Chains A and B, each alone.
Chain A
Amino acid sequence: MKLYCLSSHPSKPCHVLRFKGITMMLDCGLSAQTVLSFLPLPLVPSARLSGLPNWMPHGCSNAQLEGELKDCCGRVFIDSAPEFCVPQEKIVDFSEIDVILISNYLCMMALPFITEGTGFEGVVYATEPTLHIGRFFLEELVQYIEQTPKASLASHWKDILHFLPPPLCDSLKPRSWRHLYSLSAVNSSLSRIQMVGYDEKLDVYGALKVTPVSSGFCLGSSNWIISSDHEKVAYISGSSTLTTHPRPMDQSALKNADVLIMTGLTQTPLCNPDSMLGELCITVSTTLRSGGCVLMPCYPSGVIYDLFECLSGHLENLGLTQVPMYFISPVADTSLGYSNILAEWLSQGKQNKVYLPEEPFPHAFLIKNNRLKHFKNIYAEGFSTEYRQPCVVFCGHPSLRFGDSVHFMELWGSNSQHAVVFTEPDFPYLEALAPFQPLAMKAMHCPIDTSLNFTQGNKLVRDLKPTTLVIPESYLKPPVEAPSRTDLVIEQTDKNNIISFKGGDVLTLPLKRKRARVNLSPEVCNKLVVNEIRMGVNLATLTGQLQVKDNHHHIQVLEPSGTSNQGNNPSTKKLPRRPEETLSQMRYEWGSLDLDTFIQRLREDVGIAEAKVEQNSNGYIIHLPKEDALIIVEDKSTHVNCDPELRYKLRKVLLQCLNRI
């Protein structure tokens, strides 16, 4: 079994597993951190951004580079349409992939890069919420980028990487970065997805079974069990044991795997999501009370639903019910719509509401009461008339490089009354803010990452007891920002066998298949001659016809072939049968020969009176002087040297004295 690691980002995984002749991709996460190197794309032309000075490296006079790089407060940005770091293409040929398993909608943003224009012909499995929510995530991203097209695209900066200041000069393989896909690529890619349900056993070409199980991380998020007759591989992607809106994580299904691949642990191990939520509520209410507005850069689904619920409750308690909350996204209506129809994928509490029938999320109620208002974008009909300050704005993109969040940063950045609160853990907030410096507005970092933290991760590993654990290399080291926190790692003990990987690695995993399952027909079974070797151990020789269909094996009765040599030509002597024809009568001798019985039988059955027995270091030599025969008996073999006439008799007696199966 081989594992190819195509992504360098543990929370945006992309692996390819080769097992039993099947090539299977596990997730196709897109690392979007590269967009932080680019200048924001404002919806309304921004004098500040367009007025930023050009940046040229010292001693470099490449005229083509002119205008590609801009300087903002000492940081250099690329002035071009943003590019993304896609899963590495050179390790695996995407056209060979048989099946792609998608764990959750945050781990599928690279899907069109994999399936479109690569010759990919396989099938993609994802749950229904993953498909629907994933679709509007992809659509939102495409719309954000397409609504602010760039006239010229920068590429020459990639040639002079070593002249650039950090962090640009540390960019990982920028030549392989790609512009985003189109909407038609998204549609075509998503049309390949086959929707699956939790605990559904999916057959992969008869060779493997894959089953998604609930991972508790977000709506429809799953972990995967990949199993053959005797082997089990568990793949853990984004998972959570916290109680939020999704269905709880199913841990028991992941137990006792031969190989457990674990990714998607928290990206912010130093922050506790619960206390972050508390801080967030306080920051928001303080800002609002002093007349300021709050910007919450966010994705269009996920923790945002919990934030609506939590924040509205908090504001209500403080008597701030008149403060409007705006949810601005090209897919806001879709997101809110879907959140109310996916009851089967929600926590028990939310699910029970549907039985009443009431909408599972309180935000349906907030919308009816006009406390939460949603718009496609800031220039959508009705927004400017509805807009009031102070307010809370939820909008994308959390990188602050495109989408409506850029507009609000430009609008509110110079006013210290306002605040921006970062909740999504995908982007380092200071990096996100860099092109908006100097900034007067308050910035709060309250990452709410509900993924497993290291304590929970270690406990999970202890409970699941995998034979081999496969994790990203970074999980074995403390976080870069807190090198002394040696508790924030996955523990290595003598009990667990850990294999770690980094992007670009190809691992051979220690899973050796020893047995396969076949179906035996009752007719074959009836013909078996069973020999009891000792209590509880029985052996029987078996010869049958093997039928292989769709990777399933069946053993049936072997019909005697019609083209037997026997008696074809009476003039010549009977030819011996081919080896495959004698197999069904084949028997095997075992154990050792009892000398006394053998001699006795020789005398009684064959009439050989005189047998000289000579003992040597290996066993015995029996000499039959009259017959001129020599029988060499050893512990595990008997060798009969005699003339052909006598041989038949000796053989008969010998075989009677030996155990046979």
Chain B
Amino acid sequence: MPEIKIIPLGAGQDVGRSCILLNIGGKKIMLDCGMHMGYQDERRFPDFSFIAQEGPITGYIDAIIISHFHLDHCGALPYLTEMVGYNGPIYMTHPTKAIAPILLEDMRKVSVERKGESNFFTSQMIKDCMKKVIAVTLHQSVMVDSDLEIKAYYAGHVLGAAMFWIRVGNQSVVYTGDYNMTPDRHLGAAWIDKCRPDVLITESTYATTIRDSKRCRERDFLKKVHECVERGGKVLIPVFALGRAQELCILLETYWERMNLKVPIYFAVGLTEKANNYYKMFITWTNQKIRKTFVQRNMFDFKHIKPFDKTFIDNPGAMVVFATPGMLHAGLSLQIFKKWAPNENNMVIMPGFCVQGTVGHKILNGAKKVEIENRQVVEVKMSVQYMSFSAHADAKGIMQLIQYCEPRNVLLVHGEAAKMEFLKEKIKQEFNLDCFMPANGETCVIQTPHRIPIDVSLPLLKAESVKYNALPPDPKRPRIIHGVLVMKDKSTCLMDVDEACKEADISRHMVRFTSTVRLEDFGPAGRTTDKLLLHVQEKLKGWNVVYQEGNISIESVLVKVEGADDETKTVYVSWTNQDEELGSYILELIQTMGN
């Protein structure tokens, strides 16, 4: 049995540093190359020594595919390509190619300049890395080489996020990256056709959650923000520059407009304006409503949202601030948090998932005192709210995707082990599919069925179809095809026996048998023939018995009567070897007639 091997280097029963090795039909593909936000040491990158003990990995990997620009999916890419060494092709969508280097650079600055880390990739390395990237468009069938084909599907989640279908020969895999099955304020829902992959590798961040309606969550969010600013509190919303931020901006912008609110909303400068520009230019990747109206009004031109300046941190009075990064692990959002956390009037809204080890994760778990860089301890009195705006598919969405693409096996990554277990059972129950959830470094081997494509000569196929269609319709009747398979010069073709002989350059040898029976039946030979005809027809109901020129023929069997009127008749029965069974039956039939 052919097989597909999958080894997660990251995201196996875990969220963060997604990196999955796929071995399909002899091709080795790396799916995503992310970093872990929760670690500062070497654990933040996947363990690439797994691929090659030392030195570049170019020879060991045929292609790298990046699903979207989030750093837990692409953060280790410059490290891998420039520091470990990889010169092969890297595939991602156009928006990902545009936005990823910006986020990488932003992260690099935070790590190197703020935290003073060394042995980190440089700006130049990011640029060199991006030069190796080949941008793909949705649904484009890309031939990586003559055997390996990939195709991107829309995944929602963030601008430019894609799921990838990967095929080598008859084997295929779909890797979802992160996706979202419900359209939101700025993105559409993920979509895939019935591509029936052997394995669906799906994220399972929200494996156990069935999220309530989006509208309710939005109303809840707006209510909380409004209440806080009304009592003069400050609202901090840590976000990543691109993605959720734009959706929440649209949400607040329309709410402020409707409620005629004057409280300032700020968006930490730098990335934002640029980020919104990307959204403007890649508007074809947003949802239908935004695409339809963009000529009249571009949704990403915000009226109420102003750029933020660091000096505003200490401004008195209410305000709403969007600041990066989203998990409060570094940067401006952490700085603001430090200042605002001790005041119970203030509020922090975490609109997305936080990986373990980050300040965001700690306060979400109810920590009242958090240790921040340099052993500084901050008391958290402000209200901490979690709003799941993270655009991942929930359990319902994952099940929906399985229904869409009809995989033969499901493999879960990018989720917590306990939650995966639950979903795994559910998938087994509902779809009767094998479901896997390998841990990091664990190899998962999935058997795939053999499929053998051959050619059939068209005359043979057409003859079958003519024959089948001539019969009264009966869905239970099997359609039978018979011929000779010719395997020659790497081509394999099924043909009619005569065509096959011609193709193989041999001649058929026809073997024919003739036996004679003497019948005591006086009268004209024609009358004897008639008697035989009746007899044969009676015995062989449903056979095509033909009477022609004094002879009876059934398939290749020929029956011929000779002899003068007043003589004993000689009956010749003749048939080819292929009709041995029929021929000998008829011969015996006529012999017994004579007795």
Contact = CB atoms under 8 A, between A and B. Distances in A.
B460 to A, nearest CB: 9
A357 B98 contact: yes
Interface in B481-495: 481-489, 493-494
A579 to B, nearest CB: 6
Contacts of B484: 539-542, 588, 661
Interface string B15-55: 00000000000000000000000000000000000000000
A211 to B, nearest CB: 7
Interface residues of A, number: 92
B259 interface: no
Interface stretch (A27-35, A420-428, A439-447, A515-523): A515-523
A200 B458 CA distance: 28
Contact of B295 (A337, A541, A576, A641): A337
Interface stretch (B132-140, B226-234, B383-391, B409-417): B132-140
Interface stretch (B336-344, B346-354, B504-512): B504-512
Contacts of B97: 355
A340 B141 CA distance: 25
B interface SS class: mixed
A538 B278 contact: no
B281 A340 contact: yes
B478 interface: yes
Interface string B323-346: 000000000000000000000000
Interface in A520-547: 520-522, 525, 528, 530, 533, 536-547
A354 B98 contact: yes
B480 A545 contact: yes
A575 interface: yes
A343 B481 contact: no
A518 B294 contact: no
Given A355-B98, A588-B484, A518 B454 contact: yes
B180 to A, nearest CB: 20
A344 B137 contact: yes
Given A343-B282, A575-B585, A200 B140 contact: yes
B443 interface: no
B478 A561 contact: yes
Interface stretch (A46-54, A191-199, A268-276): A191-199
A90 interface: no
A586 B458 CA distance: 21
A539 B486 CA distance: 5
B509 A592 contact: yes
Nearest to B480: A580
A522 B294 contact: no
Nearest to B454: A520
A564 B480 CA distance: 16
A542 B281 contact: no
Nearest to B581: A576
A642 to B, nearest CB: 7
Given A592-B509, A640-B511, A537 B456 contact: no
B506 A590 contact: yes
B452 A533 contact: no
B512 A658 contact: no
A506 B504 CA distance: 39
Interface in B453-479: 453-458, 461, 464, 478-479
Given A341-B284, A357-B281, A518-B453, A655 B577 contact: yes
A117 interface: no
Contact of A639 (B274, B284, B514): B514
A58 interface: no
B500 interface: yes
Contact of B509 (A343, A533, A547, A590): A590
A545 B588 CA distance: 32
A642 B461 contact: no
A536 B452 contact: no
A591 B506 contact: yes
B540 A545 contact: no
Contacts of A341: 280-284, 294
Contact of A637 (B151, B294, B510, B582): B510
B511 A655 contact: yes
A504 to B, nearest CB: 31
B139 A196 contact: yes
Interface stretch (A8-16, A460-468, A471-479, A643-651): A643-651
A333 B137 CA distance: 26
Nearest to B592: A573
Interface in B545-576: 555
Contacts of B493: 515
B451 interface: yes
Contacts of B511: 589, 637-640, 651, 654-655, 658
B455 A516 contact: yes
Given A591-B509, A640-B512, A211 B141 contact: yes
Contact of B481 (A540, A555, A574): A555
Interface string B496-518: 01001100111111111111100
Given A546-B481, A548-B479, A539 B281 contact: no
A553 interface: yes
Given A533-B506, A651-B577, A514 B457 contact: yes
A584 B458 CA distance: 21
A541 B585 CA distance: 25
A518 B485 CA distance: 12
A578 B554 CA distance: 11
B283 A539 contact: no
Give the residue among B274, B479, B484, B509 with the most A Cβ atoms within 10 A.
B509
Contacts of A589: 508-511, 577
Given A199-B140, A536-B488, A647-B515, A636 B509 contact: yes
A359 interface: yes
A171 B582 CA distance: 72
A553 B284 contact: no
Contacts of B361: none
Contacts of B479: 545-548
B581 A542 contact: no
B13 to A, nearest CB: 34
A432 interface: no
Contacts of A539: 484-487, 500, 504
Interface string A332-358: 011001101111100000010011010
Given A528-B485, A588-B497, A553 B456 contact: yes
B514 to A, nearest CB: 5
A175 interface: no
A641 B517 CA distance: 12
A114 interface: no
Nearest to B93: A344
Given A582-B581, A640-B514, A651-B513, A590 B508 contact: yes
Contacts of A201: 141
B403 interface: no
A583 B480 contact: yes
B539 interface: yes
Given A354-B94, A575-B540, A651-B513, 13 more contacts: A334-B295, A520-B454, A525-B450, A537-B486, A546-B464, A561-B478, A575-B585, A586-B482, A589-B509, A593-B509, A638-B512, A644-B588, A655-B577
Interface of A: 128, 196-201, 211, 229-230, 333-334, 337-338, 340-344, 351, 354-355, 357, 359-360, 513-522, 525, 528, 530, 533, 536-548, 553, 555, 558-559, 561, 573-580, 582-584, 586, 588-593, 635-644, 647, 651, 654-655, 658-659, 661
Nearest 7 pairs of A and B residues by beta carbon: A522-B450, A200-B139, A637-B510, A546-B479, A337-B295, A520-B452, A538-B487
6 contacts: A230-B455, A539-B487, A588-B508, A651-B580, A658-B509, A659-B509
